[in-house]
Amino acid sequence: MAPSPSPRRPAVGGTEKARAKAAGRRHRALGLDAIVDVALRLVDREGIDAVSMRRVAAEFDTGPASLYAYVANKEELLHHVLDRVIDEMAVPESDDWQELLRGYWHAARDTYARHNDVARLSFAHIPGGAKFLDLGERLLGAMIEGGVPVKVASWALDIMALYVAADVFEGWLFRQRYGDGLSEEEIGAEFVEKLTRQFAQITPAAYPYLTANREVMMSGSGDERFAFGLDMLIAGVAAQVPPRSRRTR
């Protein structure tokens, strides 16, 4: 990556710029944005656990201690990474709040999924960026204008965010454990095989419902199952919209 692999030479004094020049222009200049860049790239390539202060620092040709001028600790660094990912999200345009919710959460799920297990970081985290507030304002506004009671709307948004994060994180974990470079179908097959092995140890007499419905239980792709759950939540919210709240007052 670096054009000149010049060996480290002792600084001979002068300004910061001069020193960097003399040292052959280090890989990258330190700074919060650059640090988060590197961490996000590591997440995208290998997942959260591949991020270590040492590996990030190495990209700047220095030791881990150098990072502590920009982040208080590793947790804070990872939350900056999450905020970056959240910046990629957007609320679609729609007059129908149900359509808007469906579109948004599917897109949010896709965004998380593009960054491995980054969704895990969203548990119990209040994002720091303004984007989070923009998204909340749009979603909450659309629901309230659609007649959803405020409490129902805000609590439901929390639950949907939790559901999406948990779904993506679990999907990533499954892929890690049951076949890595495999296709969706192959992973499904391997997964079914493991469950079937467990089922094989069971007498059908003791577990009539499980044995009789094995195939249906294991049917469906991850996408289909997610959509099913999301639609159930949206329907649950819709059921709590007061009957005649069509532009009354």
Positions that interact with DNA (CB under 7 A) = 8, 11, 13, 29-31, 51-55, 60-66, 68-70, 73-75
Answer with the entry of its own copies, DNA, none that 204 interacts with (C-beta below 5 to 8 A by kind).
Answer: none
Q: How far is the C-alpha of 23 from the C-alpha of 218, rounded, in Å? A: 59
Amino acid letter, 204: P
- Angle (CA) 237 136 107, round 5°: 80
Residue partners of 45: CB distance under 8 A and separation at least 6: none
Which chain residues interact with its own copies by CB under 8 A? 123-124, 126, 128, 133, 136-137, 140-141, 144, 150-151, 154-156, 158-159, 162-163, 165-167, 169-171, 173-174, 176-177, 194-195, 198, 202, 206-210, 213, 216-217, 219-220, 225, 228-229, 232-233, 235-237, 239
Compute the least distance from the CB of residue 111 to its own copies, in Å: 18
Q: By C-beta, is 38 or 157 nearer to its own copies?
A: 157
Q: By C-beta, is 60 or 169 nearer to DNA?
A: 60
Residue partners of 163: CB distance under 8 A and separation at least 6: 229, 230, 233
Q: By C-beta, is 42 or 156 nearer to DNA?
A: 42
Tell me the residue ranges of DSSP E strands in the chain: none
Tokens for 170, please give them. Answer: 């679990």
- Angle (CA) 79 142 81, round 5°: 10
Answer with the entry of its own copies, DNA, none that 18 interacts with (C-beta below 5 to 8 A by kind).
Answer: none
